Amino acid sequence: MVLFYTHLLMGVTAFLLIKDSFLGGNTLILFLIILLGSILPDIDERRSKINTWTGVLGYVVALFSRHRGFFHSLLFFISSSLVMGYYWNSYYAGGLFLGYSLHLLGDGFTRQGVQIFYPFSDFKISGPIKVGGIVEVLLVLLLIVTVAGILFFLI
């Protein structure tokens, strides 16, 4: 459950850091897309918030995929970002890809890790952090302080 907030806060932090360099559209839409990208991969986990929020779609996704499988792969990240860029807006597609990348980064630091080249390889990126453990809680606090600090200097 904590990991949800870690992913969201990483997305908020990234948005605050890049928003002034964003040149191609509505900033609020970019913000929402980065947040979407930062939580969407967990649609493959039945107990995740994004899975619950998406109802039948989330149920079907979780039924036919395993957690941290296809929806946590570069194949999914790149193909969905390319589709968004082709059919809608390449700047927003970049935001989606940024959110996805942050999600991969966050999951890549956990003990469970992620198979970024799934389904082509079993290669896994993993780290020492236990999901919901003290290190992750400290990371969430650090991200909250970072976001507050950035907002303080913006105002």
The binding site for Zn ion (CB under 5 A) comprises 41-42, 107
Taking the least distance from each CB to Zn ion, the nearer of 107 and 136 is 107
CB 86 to Zn ion: min, Å: 25
Of the two residues 15 and 42, which places its CB atom closer to Zn ion in the complex? Answer: 42
Smallest distance, Å, CB 103 to Zn ion? Answer: 6
Tell me the H-state helices in the chain. Answer: 2-18, 27-39, 49-53, 56-64, 74-87, 90-108, 134-154
Cβ at position 25, least distance to Zn ion in Å: 27
Q: What tokens does 148 get?
A: 């507050």
Nearer to Zn ion, 30 or 42 (CB): 42
Of residues 131, 67, 66, 125, the one with CA closest to residue 101: 125
Tokens of 1: 């459950």
Rounded to an integer, what distance in angstroms lies between the CA atom of residue 101 and that of residue 33?
13
Helix axes 2-18, 90-108, angle to 10 degrees: 140
Instruction: Provide, rounded to whole angstroms, the least separation between the CB of residue 50 and Zn ion.
Output: 10
The residue among 42 and 136 lying less far from Zn ion, judged by its C-beta, is 42
